[in-house]
Amino acid sequence: MKPRSIFSRLCALVTALLIMSCASAFAAAGTDWENSVIEVEGTGVAPVNARSAAQARAMARRAAVVDAYRQIAEQVAGVQVDAETTVEDMAVSSDVVKTKVSALVQGARIVDEKAVDGAYTVKVQVPLFGVSKSVAAAVLPQTTVKEPLPAPTAPKEASVPAAVRNTGSSASAAPADGKAIGGYTGLIVDCSGLGLKPAMSPVIKNGLGQPIYGYKNLDYDKVVASGMAGYTTDVSRAARAGSNPLVVRAIRVDGGVNPVLSTADADRVLIENGATGFLDKTNVVFVR
């Protein structure tokens, strides 16, 4: 049985405060991976025994803030880091991560607040990525050595990928000698219908299960600042991949978070990246 984490202790404290303050129902919380932010809205109502309108407003606000910070703690705890680990798992196993996450939750920013019909609402935000005061900065370990991206497994076989498509060229247009077409600005991996879940440190694998793109292949500061990949449910919003993206279809998802490409498609991605470096720039978008 896991020891009580910072999150469970915080939630217990918040629950007690809410009862004392007669808080109202909780508003829905959410982690917005498309905009890389966790935003929640807390709601509070003053107790009936408030002695003045000013006191009632102050107590309602306090209840709303407590509610919002409870929700932020829960949302941050549940963020998926990789296929097997959540932020809460890391906080339980590492005192350093626990301290950073605690400071992150306590430093969550109030972005809006208002009184409506006797209740008070407070919106609070925490960024998923950013050089400081973000979930990524709190949990992603700094790599000491950047590992190079792997070489294609079979460049000649990769010349006609199984699922690659692009507005300016097609699979049949791929050169027979396994050389890059060139000019691609980014990568879009279509994972729609495969149940892909967003994560801070996903890995793209080939059909043999070999990683071709992961956290260790990238510059740490760049990953913390903007993440390894963007997420969207609409390919028209995949601006991160640039104006001429290479688009491939995942054949499955490994561990719920790692897209798997056919070996031919994975090799084509590596070949094209060798020409324009879109993986190194993290110009990658996953369509869910």
Q: Tens digit of pLDDT for each residue in 47-58?
A: 888 888 888 889
Residue 140 in contact with residue 223, Cβ under 8 Å? yes
Instruction: Please tell me the distance from the alpha carbon of residue 258 to that of residue 122, in angstroms, as a whole number.
Output: 35
| pLDDT recorded at residue 174 | 56
For residue 111, the number of C-alpha atoms closer than 13 Å in the C-beta half-sphere is 11
Element (H, E) at 126: strand 119-127
DSSP state of 192: T
Instruction: Please tell me the distance from the alpha carbon of residue 140 to that of residue 225, in angstroms, as a whole number.
Output: 11
Q: Check pLDDT > 50 for residue 23.
A: no
Say which range, 23-27, 92-96, 125-129, has the weakest mean pLDDT: 23-27
> pTM value?
0.82
Cα pseudo-dihedral 58, 64, 69, 74, rounded to 10: 160
pLDDT digits (tens, 9 = 90+) for 237-277: 999 999 999 999 999 999 999 999 999 999 999 999 999 99
Question: Quick one: which of 138, 129, 63 has its CA closest to 102?
Answer: 138
